Amino acid sequence: MADLNRIGLVGLGRMGSYHLQKLLEHPQVEIAGVLDSNQVHCKNISDQFSIPCFSKPEDLFLESDAVVIASPTPTHFPLGKLALEAGLHVLMEKPMCDSVERAHDLVSLAAAQKLVLQTGFVERYRVWEALAPFLNEKPVLIGTERCSDSPSREPGLDVVTDLMIHDIDLVLALMKEPPVHISAEGLSLKITEIDVAHARLQFASGTVAHLKANWTGLQRQRATHLFYEDAAVSIDLLQNIRQVTKSHPNGKVEKKQTPLELTDSLKAQLDAFVCSIRNQAKATVSGLDGLRSLEICEAIKQKIREKQKQDILLSPREKQFLTKVWGGHVN
């Protein structure tokens, strides 16, 4: 057992139960114990799988080399800070923290302690594999659509921080540069602060990304589109399909659909975490990635808040153009 990584798990909700399954199955992991605010549920899990149940994070961390934190977002910072200060590597579910400042503090602490801090952007693994043949060139245009038929499992978590953040992470990873301009529109349907969001990210290299997210759709949607000068790549993560459309000099348009490999993303994420710990290497989806995505989330939300508070006025040139069609209806 000496060659196994002893990993604790904090949070036994829906996402935590998925993590538990992967931890139990991993050949290089021994579960040090579990912790949840619902101690009855924690004890039931402990009895079912014969693993220790803890009521205090300090006690769990004493028995662990690393920890997976899948508890509610407001607990991420205090638990992450406590774990890193105790010398533990941390796999933190997204969003990393409930504020950019706190996420920055965790990234700085992990760097000072020389510990792995990995962010749980689990969908990066599937999309990255599907896009592998196209990663050598930056797209001209990026489009993402992410729709859910129900709100976040975590009460109060808005659609930008819960859903769109996955696509923000993907776009930043593809571009390897920060956006130079951000615009956004959105609204609340009284479910959370923001329930529908459209964002536009513009990059210095010329690429523009359009991101859409809501949880009011008829059905779930997870789509990514990359447009190049002579080709387009579309990925549907729910239908497990990749379509490549190419144009040829003779005017012919070729479309080819291929099924995506059914990658176990959560397993791939845990594999990456264990590999980083054992090799003392940077996480494939690092804490810094989580921080950068959270920064863009906050910028998008601020843009939406600003537009909710002000009238959008037409410029004189826009008024002159539109008046030709709408007459006196344009103010």
Q: Which two tokens stand for residue 300?
A: 């998008």
Q: Which CATH superfamily is domain 123-265+297-308 in?
A: Dihydrodipicolinate Reductase; domain 2 (3.30.360.10)
Q: Which segments of the chain belong to CATH 3.30.360.10?
A: 123-265+297-308
- Assessment of whether the complete model's pTM goes beyond 0.85: yes
Contact 214, 196 (CB under 8 A): yes
Q: Give 157-195 pLDDT, tens digit per residue.
A: 999 999 999 999 999 999 999 999 999 999 999 999 999
Which whole number is the average pLDDT over 36-55?
Answer: 97
Q: Which segments of the chain belong to CATH 3.40.50.720?
A: 5-115
Q: Give 247-263 pLDDT, tens digit per residue.
A: 888 888 899 999 988 88
Predicted pLDDT of residue 331 = 54
CA distance 31 to 23: 7
330: pLDDT strictly greater than 50: no
- Topology (CATH level 3) of domain 5-115: Rossmann fold (3.40.50)
Q: Give 112-151 pLDDT, tens digit per residue.
A: 999 999 999 998 988 888 888 888 889 999 999 999 988 8
CA distance 64 to 47: 19
CA distance 330 to 328: 5
Residue 6: C-alpha distances to residues 88, 106, 203, 278, 287 (Å): 10, 22, 42, 12, 21
Amino acid residing at 142: I
